[in-house]
Chains A and B, each alone.
Chain A
Amino acid sequence: MSSTLVAKPLAQPTLRRRSRRRRWTAEGVIFTTLNTTFLLLLAAAMIYPLLNTLATSLNDGMDAVRGGIGIWPRVFSLKNYEVVLSMHTIYQAFFMSVLKTIVVVVTNLLFTSMLAYALSRNEFIFRRPITLIFVLTMYFDAGLIPNYLLIRDLGMLNSFQAYWVPVMISAFNLIILRTYMKSIPEEIIESARIDGAGEFRTWWLIVMPLCKPTLAVVGLFVAVGSWNSWLDTLLYNSGEQWLSTLQYELQKLLASSMNAGANSGGNAASAASVAQGGQVTTPISLRSAITVVAAVPILFVYPFLQKHFVSGLMIGSVKG
């Protein structure tokens, strides 16, 4: 029960053959051709910069500075990745990022969906005021300092709790889930009631399995948000190395590679010592490698969620 959100027997999907005639009309052929062409062009426009980033990350740094790299490295080099992956803090930080992301996703989905269920119930008398209170939180931010003081007063500084407790619920996801739950036909809920299921069981056993596509989306949003966040590490947990996250470490690496940066007036002395020391990698190539390392793990999440994007789950159960 704790491990997954899979559908329970009542909602277990089975495969049913349904014959659907595919009609090859002229309109259909033209549409498919145009559509495919359009999507291919779009995909090319989307993927070119990504391949460019990948190629730059696999290119020699000094050469990459000159720019003009297409989708293939000009002077192949693994040095950028060597630099990123030889960073001693990165593996522990990677583990922490994964752990943090899993915990945040599980807690967030659990609590957000539970609340979304309550707020999707039309008869729930406090539905509107509670929804309003949550909706408003999307539009204001108290600011860093009071948030920090709250975390400190709760004793969560330099602790794992600072990662997941403050983000257990997201109002945006709450609304998405609630909207989806509201579209679940009332008969399904009614029939569960007739079977003697309480609210809790109805939520967990009936509604949750039906929400799989949306849960998958919300889970993806939460996972990506948690994976990419580094401000929490900076503000709450930067004092403990073992709590550091991948994004935070990569951000520091990036900053140190761009060390030669400076403000107006310029502090020549400190920047000079770096310029003088010489670098094997350059900010441009290293930044690309960092982008790849930061994004690739989370990119793998989506293909796994895609299988939940299947039509007809809900409609099936309504006819019970």
Chain B
Amino acid sequence: MTDATVSTLVAGSGPEPDPEPANGSRSGKRKARTNAAKDPRREITWDRIWAQRVLLAMAVPLLLYQILFKYVPVYGWAIGFQDYKPGRGGIWEQEWVGLENFVDLFTGVNGERFARVVANTLGQSTLTLIVGTFGAIVLALLLNEVKNQPFKRVMQNITYMPHFLSWVIVASLASVALSLPSSGGFINQALMSLNLVDEPILFLTEPNYFWGIVAGTNLWKELGWNTILYLAAITAIDPTLYEAAEVDGAGRYRKMFSITLPGIMPTIVVLLIINSGWILSTNFELPYFLGNGLVSETAETIDVFVLRYGYELGNYSLAVVAGIFKTVVAIILVGSANLAAKRLNQETLV
């Protein structure tokens, strides 16, 4: 925002009214919403349904649509309880094996391995989520502080571009960056010229580095892209709040921490809740392309395991069983995160 112009609406003028529970103060608003469940206004009666017929008309057809396209096909999960062979024909012409596929995956040799790939998935994606969220918030705040509009726009455009490179390319770029200096490994080159290390490090042969490498690569690729939502959320913050704070003598940091950050908090919380459910659904490409035998103990994730022992071997049932497992975990995680947010009087999903 330039200091000269501020877009506003025709009707817009005058000072911001005192924050009131209905909209301004976040915590107050949330209190009101939490209590809404017991609100007599929410009781379902025919009168209310009739009164809300337009809202219902807006929602119900789309609800039916979603049920048709998302819920009906879930009968496909039957494959998880079958010894599925595409050759045998349709889903209902298969051999039923009960819970055998589940027992296979969760016990014995596979079970040990599955436990490890679950741990790796959790480790890689939790680290990625923390680093990524933190990085995106910081970058959004810093970009927001840039008053020179063209510079800000150029920065935004540059930082969001890596998102458009495919994972295959990103993995190969990362692999080169982490290699020996003679193979173009500029990270080693930099470390050596700064005298931080004497010998180049073979990053991709060291299991302890792998989660960090995954998180770092993800950060690089998605940082700018993840910032976009926060930048959009910042636009919703009332500029007069800043002015009022300035009048109070608030410095740049205080404005950042007591206005901007709380202003985007609902977005942060909602994104965290949503992402908590995706914690087992990492992209398989990065661990797949960057991983190798020496680091497989920390590199292999659920999706890589499913790719290698499911799809590549034509074992669709295993893939479905793993999918069901991920769904169950996801719903537990999202539910818990949502509940925690509610307890903390933060924005919630449902």
Contacts and interface: CB of A to CB of B under 8 A. Distances in A.
A35 B141 CA distance: 10
A259 interface: no
A124 B159 contact: no
A91 interface: no
Contact of B220 (A45, A52, A306, A317): A45
Q: Give the contact-size bracket for chain A.
A: 35 or more
Contacts of A11: 9-10
Contact of A16 (B8, B157, B176): B8
A17 B230 CA distance: 26
A306 B66 contact: no
B130 interface: no
B165 A140 contact: no
A68 B274 contact: no
A312 B238 CA distance: 6
A293 B267 CA distance: 34
A298 B164 contact: yes
Nearest to A185: B23
A13 interface: yes
A312 B7 contact: yes
B10 A199 contact: no
Contacts of A180: 232-233, 236
B74 interface: yes
A53 to B, nearest CB: 7
Contacts of B74: 140, 142, 146
Contact of B11 (A25, A132, A320): A320
B213 interface: no
Interface stretch (B52-60, B199-207, B300-308): B52-60
Contact of B62 (A115, A175, A220): A115
Given A39-B155, A131-B349, A142 B73 contact: yes
Contacts of B59: 115, 118-119, 124, 126, 130
A39 B142 contact: yes
Contacts of A213: 232, 235-236
Contact of A46 (B161, B266, B331): B161
Nearest to A23: B246
A49 B162 contact: yes
B183 A187 contact: no
Given A133-B66, A140-B323, A142-B70, A123 B52 contact: yes
A200 interface: yes
Nearest to B186: A48
Interface stretch (A97-105, A164-172, A235-243, A265-273): A164-172
B260 to A, nearest CB: 11
A35 B145 contact: yes
Contact of B54 (A111, A137, A199, A317): A199
Nearest to A31: B252
Nearest to B271: A176
A67 B155 contact: no
B156 interface: yes
Given A118-B55, A147-B73, A169 B62 contact: yes
A253 interface: no
A122 B36 contact: yes
Contacts of B334: 135, 139
Q: For B9, B10, B159, which residue has the most chain A Cβ atoms within 10 angstroms?
A: B9
Contacts of B232: 180, 213-214, 216-217, 309
Contacts of A19: 3
A19 B159 CA distance: 31
Contacts of A133: 63, 66-67, 71
Contacts of A317: 9-12
Contacts of A14: 7-10
B22 interface: yes
A312 B58 contact: no
A46 B224 contact: yes
A169 B252 contact: no
A207 to B, nearest CB: 12
Q: What are the 6 A-B residue pairs with the smallest beta carbon separation, nearest first?
A: A316-B12, A316-B8, A146-B76, A320-B11, A142-B73, A146-B73
12 contacts: A22-B3, A125-B43, A130-B59, A141-B323, A179-B267, A183-B23, A199-B58, A217-B228, A311-B235, A311-B239, A313-B9, A315-B238
Interface of A: 9-20, 22, 25, 27-28, 31-32, 35-36, 38-39, 42-43, 45-47, 49-50, 52-53, 67-68, 111, 114-115, 117-119, 121-126, 128, 130-143, 145-147, 149-150, 166, 168-169, 172, 175-176, 179-180, 183, 185-187, 198-200, 203, 213-214, 216-217, 220, 224, 287-288, 291, 294-295, 298-299, 302-303, 306, 309-320
Interface of B: 1, 3-14, 16-17, 22-23, 33, 36, 41-44, 48-49, 52, 54-56, 58-59, 62-63, 65-77, 79, 91, 139, 142-143, 145-147, 151, 153-166, 169-170, 173, 176, 183-184, 220, 223-224, 228-229, 231-240, 243, 251-252, 266-267, 270, 274, 277-278, 316, 319-320, 323, 326-327, 330-331, 334, 347, 349-350
Given A123-B52, A146-B91, A179-B266, 19 more contacts: A16-B5, A35-B145, A38-B142, A42-B139, A45-B220, A118-B55, A122-B33, A143-B73, A166-B69, A180-B232, A199-B58, A200-B54, A216-B232, A291-B166, A303-B157, A311-B6, A315-B239, A320-B9, A320-B12
